[in-house]
Amino acid sequence: MNDQDIENNLRTVQAAVVQAAKDAARDPEAVTLVAVSKTKPTETIHKALLAGHRSFGENRVQESLEKWPALKDAFPDTQLHLIGPLQTNKIKDVLGLFDVIQTVDRIKLATKLADAMAATGHRPDCFIQVNTGEEPQKAGVLPADADAFIRACVDDCALPVRGLMCIPPADEEPVLHFALLREIARRNGLSGLSMGMSDDFEAAIRFGATHVRVGSAIFGAR
């Protein structure tokens, strides 16, 4: 994809985000477009940065460590979101690089994140991933366990928990999952909702998404 395509795609998706927010009588500023740049090379991401975009998501720690330190040096106001699994032995690698960790989903990870935050002073915002579809192969805390897990992260670990994140099952109506995530966030007093991807971000915004994670609609097919 050339520079112009990426810039045009960004403008188109950003305009759709604003329109969806307005249609839902929401403030467009309250929705962050996280451009998911996984598998895309540094040169491609650079084009989006030059076009003025500053929020990005990656799902692999190792790939992020290869691509992002130089990009963040060049564009220090960039916000980088981890949207894929985090192993506890990688925590020290991610704390200085990611601004938001969207995939907190088990107590061992929460505890070790809290220890590493205290040791390093880096305190990236955290989202708790909820496996709304209860899919065995998918990460995330089960809906029935979500309230207790959120309390443990906030009260026992003192993590800076900002909201919840979900990845609905590919073959189900996503809005049922968006509604479930919104309800779990509401009853736990959390305002952040990371939900919605290329195919369904407008619906997610209608259901209250504060962060939509859009990859292929911006960067093309992977």
Ligand X SMILES: *Cc1c(COP(=O)(O)O)cnc(C)c1O
List of residues contacting ligand X (CB under 6 A): 36, 38, 59, 83-84, 167, 197-198, 213-217
Question: Minimal distance in Å, beta carbon 58 to ligand X?
Answer: 9
Class of residue 181 by CB neighbours under 10 A (exposed 0-12, middle 13-18, buried 19+): buried
Alpha-carbon torsion angle 131, 136, 141, 146, nearest 10 = 80
User: H or E stretch including 211?
Assistant: strand 211-214
Angle between helical axes of 42-50 and 3-23 (0-180°, round to 10): 60
Question: Minimal distance in Å, beta carbon 14 to ligand X?
Answer: 14
| Closer residue to ligand X (CB): 154 or 166 | 166
Question: Minimal distance in Å, beta carbon 197 to ligand X?
Answer: 4
| Closer residue to ligand X (CB): 196 or 208 | 196
Q: Is the CB of residue 128 less than 8 Å from the CB of residue 146?
A: yes
- Looking at this protein, which amino acid is placed at residue 90? K
| Closer residue to ligand X (CB): 7 or 111 | 7
| Closer residue to ligand X (CB): 114 or 167 | 167
Question: Minimal distance in Å, beta carbon 108 to ligand X?
Answer: 21
